[in-house]
Amino acid sequence: MKKRLSHYDSAGRVSMVDVGAKKISKRTATARAFVSMSPAVIEALPENPKGDPLEVARIAAIGAAKKTSDLIPLCHQLPLSHVGVEFRIENAGIEIITTASTAAQTGVEMEALTAASVAALTIYDMTKALDKSIEIQSIHLLEKTGGKSGTYRRKTAQE
């Protein structure tokens, strides 16, 4: 069976997917982003005069997930039951892991991805005065559960 893009109608016009006939089910998604920065910037995080960049990024990520349908034109507005944001400080930068959950008729992948993206942008904004070469890298979906298509898990380099 040939797959087709879901956001186009039979005439090739952009169309919001009608999810009205779908059953409500619990859905989750987990996304990742990485902010590459020098060890000097990582060391300076606690002394940032604008505040703790990671805590500001956490708030920004949660707010962004809640606004995803305002930012991505064909996304459905979803009642989010949870948005989680975790940071892992590594030698080469900061890994951001976001999760979004809902009980709805469509998935929350875009909410998790938007949260990860905005968290990364916020970290950049709060640390750019120290180093303009900070990079946002590797924004992608790690996992999604629920819905007709079931569970998806991104394969790791070891698999």
Question: What is the C-alpha to C-alpha distance for residues 145 and 21, in angstroms, rounded to an integer?
Answer: 19
Question: What is the C-alpha to C-alpha distance for residues 90 and 88, in angstroms, rounded to an integer?
Answer: 6
Question: What is the C-alpha to C-alpha distance for residues 51 and 72, in angstroms, rounded to an integer?
Answer: 29
For the chain, the first-to-last Cα distance in angstroms comes to 27
Nearby residues of 149 by Cβ (< 8 Å), 6 or more positions away: none
125 has catalytic annotation? yes
Half-sphere exposure of 75 (CA within 13 A, CB side): 19
Q: Which residue among the candidates 18, 70, 125, 131 is catalytic per the annotation?
A: 125
- Residue 139: phi, psi to the nearest 5? -90, 120
List the one residue out of 68, 59, 75 whose CA is nearest residue 125.
59
Catalytic (active-site) positions: 125
